């Protein structure tokens, strides 16, 4: 029985209200065991002994249109036929109680992130991260980009710019201050939106799949956090008023455990906020294989702190593979595990290396037998990402192109590859702004 529960009355009989509350708590524990120990502890702390209010354990989907009208299933316990549902301060447009453990509600209009609560005669359900519902803003501004969309890799970029393929991704070390004439400055001068990865000291990217002893741990976390804040603050001061995205560490799942990365992010986000760096401009690494639940279990405060996520869903252009870690359509699957930031997602790498382009140079990742095959896969992946963009929560998609080898969108002489032409055709056919 949970700590703090009052003793049984004389004779050992448990009052009916207490029995009902106890059954709900025990059922909740059995469900939350699937979500990790941290979630179980959180719910125990939120359920006062003897209370007869409902519990919300999960909602699906956890995001929807700002205009409202999203049908949301609410899973929990203690629901009755008279239950009502609020999204923040606004009542649901309609409520249908399917059982004591399932409710279907239609969201009202709203903005930001709100708590979905079930209201019963005993009071509203407790606020938990698993009941957070995020409103998706209407899509606006450019969303397509190239990871390497700069003169340093592509030569002339105007043919991409006129089709609003505008994002550019670059990497800096923590504590590094970019040159006023460097690649980031040139990208901004050409109207691009920089996405800046800030790496830890000693990062090489050569040992993917092996735990890196140089990954920040212990006191080294504070050093990385200080360097991240210094670099991000310097860039923001150089280009005031410009939109700039930041990613703390590229693909940390290749070099560290979820718990190790969570320890870094738990220190970084509060420090960045104190320095005036908007949390919605910091995109944290996401993937399948229960990476996000493991992060939450290691650092429960991240369930509310993270306000943006990035993915690298290399893999099939349709469908899901590798335990929800591969394929463009793995993104909404993993999104369902998020309790904050689920309406602010970018895909900062995706693509295929064509073995026939420049003799297949640098084709160390997902590849295609020819430029034509790579272009077909890219077009299919972009088409499958389009509904995510139109929903409002996919803010950017960058195709990998940081080479003049098999990944190339454009060769040094300015000629577009077949993948480059496929990207331009898609951008022109779907001018999503």
pLDDT band at 34 (very low <50, low <70, confident <90, very high): very low
Any domain includes 303? yes
pLDDT in tens, 101-154: 999 999 999 999 999 999 998 889 999 999 999 999 999 888 998 887 655 555
Do 226 and 316 have their domain in common? yes
Where does a domain end: 136, 157, 190? Answer: 136
Residue 421: which CATH number?
3.20.20.80
> Which domain does 30 fall in, by range?
16-136
Do 103 and 242 have their domain in common? no
Do 148 and 47 have their domain in common? no
Mean pLDDT rounded to a whole number for the chain: 86
Q: Report the alpha-carbon distance of residue 360 to residue 295 in Å, rounded.
A: 37
Do 301 and 405 have their domain in common? yes
CB atoms within 10 A of CB 211: 11
Do 166 and 240 have their domain in common? yes
Do 297 and 389 have their domain in common? yes
Between 121 and 320, the more confident residue is 320
Do 73 and 161 have their domain in common? no
Any domain includes 6? no
Any domain includes 279? yes
Where does a domain end: 112, 136, 160? Answer: 136
Any domain includes 109? yes
Between 387 and 405, the more confident residue is 387
pLDDT in tens, 301-317: 999 999 999 999 999 99
Do 252 and 186 have their domain in common? yes
Mean pLDDT of 381-401: 95
Reduce the secondary structure of 338-366 to three states and give it as a string. Answer: CCCCCCCEEECCCCCEECCHHHHCCCCCC
Cα angle, residue 31 at apex, residues 26 and 34 outer, rounded to 5°: 130
3-state class (DSSP) for residue 261 = helix
Do 339 and 377 have their domain in common? yes
How many domains would you assign to the chain? 2
Q: Report the alpha-carbon distance of residue 70 to residue 376 in Å, rounded.
A: 33
Tokens standing for residue 266: 């738990």
Between 150 and 363, the more confident residue is 363
Any domain includes 126? yes
Any domain includes 85? yes
Do 75 and 148 have their domain in common? no
Q: Which pLDDT belongs to residue 153?
A: 55
Any domain includes 246? yes
pLDDT in tens, 213-245: 999 999 999 999 999 999 999 999 999 999 999
Where does a domain end: 85, 102, 136? Answer: 136
Q: Which pLDDT belongs to residue 148?
A: 73
Q: Which pLDDT belongs to residue 23?
A: 57
Residue (of 327, 326, 373, 381) closest to 354 by Cα position: 373
Any domain includes 215? yes
**Taking 70 as the threshold, does the pLDDT of residue 365 lie above it?**
yes
**Taking 50 as the threshold, does the pLDDT of residue 70 lie above it?**
yes
Do 181 and 110 have their domain in common? no
Do 299 and 260 have their domain in common? yes
Residue (of 399, 302, 296) closest to 346 by Cα position: 399
Any idea which of 138-142, 170-174, 225-229, 331-335 has the lowest mean pLDDT? 138-142
3-state class (DSSP) for residue 368 = strand
pLDDT in tens, 270-297: 999 999 999 999 999 999 999 999 999 9
Q: Euclidean distance between the first and final Cα of the chain, in Å? A: 55
Tell me which residue has tokens 């104190």.
274
């Amino acid at each position: 029985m949970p700590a703090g529960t009052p003793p049984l009355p004389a004779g050992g009989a448990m009052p009916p209200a207490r029995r009902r509350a106890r059954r709900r708590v025990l059922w909740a524990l059995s469900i939350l065991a699937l979500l990790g120990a941290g979630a179980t502890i959180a719910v125990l702390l939120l359920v006062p002994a003897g209370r007869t209010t409902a519990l919300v354990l999960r909602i699906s989907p956890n995001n929807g249109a700002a205009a409202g009208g999203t049908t949301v299933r609410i899973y929990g316990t203690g629901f009755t036929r008279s239950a009502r549902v609020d999204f923040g301060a606004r009542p649901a447009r309609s409520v249908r109680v399917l059982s004591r453990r399932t409710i279907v509600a239609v969201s009202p209009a709203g903005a930001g992130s709100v708590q979905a609560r079930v209201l019963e005669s005993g009071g509203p359900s407790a606020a938990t991260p698993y009941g957070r519902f995020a409103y998706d803003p209407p899509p606006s501004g450019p969303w397509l980009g190239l990871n390497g969309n700069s003169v340093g890799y592509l030569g002339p970029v105007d043919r991409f710019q006129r089709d609003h393929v505008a994002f550019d991704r670059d990497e800096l070390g923590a504590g590094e201050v970019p040159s006023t004439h460097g690649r980031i400055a040139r990208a901004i001068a050409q109207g691009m939106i920089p996405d800046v990865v800030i790496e830890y000291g000693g990062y090489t990217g050569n040992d993917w799949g092996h735990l890196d002893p140089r990954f920040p741990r212990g006191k080294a976390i504070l050093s990385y956090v200080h360097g991240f804040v210094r670099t991000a603050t310097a860039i923001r001061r150089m280009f005031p008023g410009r939109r700039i995205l930041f990613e703390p560490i590229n693909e940390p799942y290749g070099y560290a455990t979820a718990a190790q990365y969570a320890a870094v992010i738990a220190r970084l986000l509060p420090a960045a906020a104190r320095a005036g760096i908007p949390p919605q401009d910091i995109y944290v690494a996401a993937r399948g294989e229960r990476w996000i639940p493991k992060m939450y279990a290691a650092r429960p405060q991240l369930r509310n702190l993270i306000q943006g996520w990035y993915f690298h869903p290399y893999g099939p252009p349709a469908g899901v593979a590798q335990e929800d870690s591969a394929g463009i359509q793995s993104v909404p699957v993993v999104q369902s595990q998020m309790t904050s930031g689920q309406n602010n997602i970018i895909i900062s790498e995706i693509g295929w290396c064509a073995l026939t382009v420049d003799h297949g140079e640098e084709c160390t990742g997902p590849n295609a037998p020819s430029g034509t095959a790579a272009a077909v896969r890219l077009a299919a992946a972009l088409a499958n990402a389009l509904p995510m963009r139109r929903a409002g929560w996919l803010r950017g998609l960058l195709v990998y192109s940081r080479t003049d080898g098999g990944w190339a969108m454009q060769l040094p002489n300015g000629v577009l590859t077949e993948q480059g032409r496929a990207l331009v055709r898609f951008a022109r056919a779907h001018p999503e702004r």
